[in-house]
Amino acid sequence: MQGTSVVHRAPLAAKFVALLAVGVATTLLPSWWTGCLLLALVVGTHALAGLGLGRLLRTMRPVLPVLVVLFAFQWWSQDAAMAARLVLGILACYIAAGVVTGTTSPSALIDAVVGAARPLRRWLDPEAVGIAVAVMFRSIPWIADAFGEVREAARARGLERNPRALVLPVVIHTVGYARATGEALAARGLGDPVEGPQDAPAGGSRPGGPGAPSTNDGAPG
């Protein structure tokens, strides 16, 4: 994304290394208070990038219910310190990933993924990987908008507490969107290649064709 902060100007490789370091650090946290320090460092980086408190709260809103349930389960099965350390580590990784995507343009991220996939071109098509990432970037906001529209429609009908009224339309719209996207890619020759019929052997291959042996050879006229 456009910006003039130090984080925006940092090389993408440095951002990936920092994100990896945060992920590794979460597995090495000795206690919950070190998790608080790591989270504070990540939040400080988010503020240094100038992404804003509103953006931070909006990005955290979808995952907070999951983290609350995870904290409660870990507290019940282990203890409160273990639960806090786990949740703080996940939250730090989540916000750090948001800093990377929030300070890097999608085109730069796609180029980086394509470049990373080039050494694997024997097994993967780097351009296909780039297209997959581009489709993912485009699909996530679309699905979020679809969920918002369905939720508003369900609320207007008094069905905002009905999971079926919320989930089923989103699933149907998402499947339709995926089919339309796949058809658009295939129309541009970007889908999986379609295997054609096998080449015919010399002299013809179809039964009864010009090169096919006659079943009446030697038969009396």
Query: For position 75, what pLDDT does the model report?
Result: 92
- Enumerate the H helices of the chain as residue ranges: 6-9, 12-27, 32-48, 53-60, 64-77, 80-102, 106-117, 126-156, 163-187
Mean pLDDT of the region 52-81:
87
C-alpha distances out from residue 74 to 25, 68, 85, Å: 20, 10, 10
Query: For position 158, what pLDDT does the model report?
Result: 84
Residue closest to 150 by CA, chosen among 135, 136, 171, 179: 171
Residue 191 CA to residue 194 CA, distance in Å, equals: 9
Long-range pairs for 210-216 at CB < 8 Å and ≥24 separation? none
Query: For position 106, what pLDDT does the model report?
Result: 82
How many CB atoms neighbour CB 40 within 10 A? Answer: 12
C-alpha distances out from residue 178 to 18, 87, 112, 149, 210, Å: 33, 33, 25, 18, 46
Give the tens place of pLDDT for each residue, 32-51: 888 899 999 999 999 998 88
3-state secondary structure 90-135: HHHHHHHHHHHHHCCCHHHHHHHHHHHHHHHCCCCCHHHHHHHHHH
Chain position carrying tokens 């806090």: 84
Residue 178 CA to residue 146 CA, distance in Å, equals: 13
Of residues 199 and 89, more confidently modeled: 89
How many CB atoms neighbour CB 172 within 10 A? Answer: 12
Quickly state the pLDDT bin for 198 (edges 50, 70, 90). Answer: very low
Instruction: Tell me which amino acid residue 64 is.
Output: L
Mean pLDDT of the region 127-138:
80
Of residues 70 and 214, more confidently modeled: 70
**What mean pLDDT is reported for the chain?**
80
Query: For position 9, what pLDDT does the model report?
Result: 87
pTM: predicted TM-score of the whole model, two decimal places: 0.65
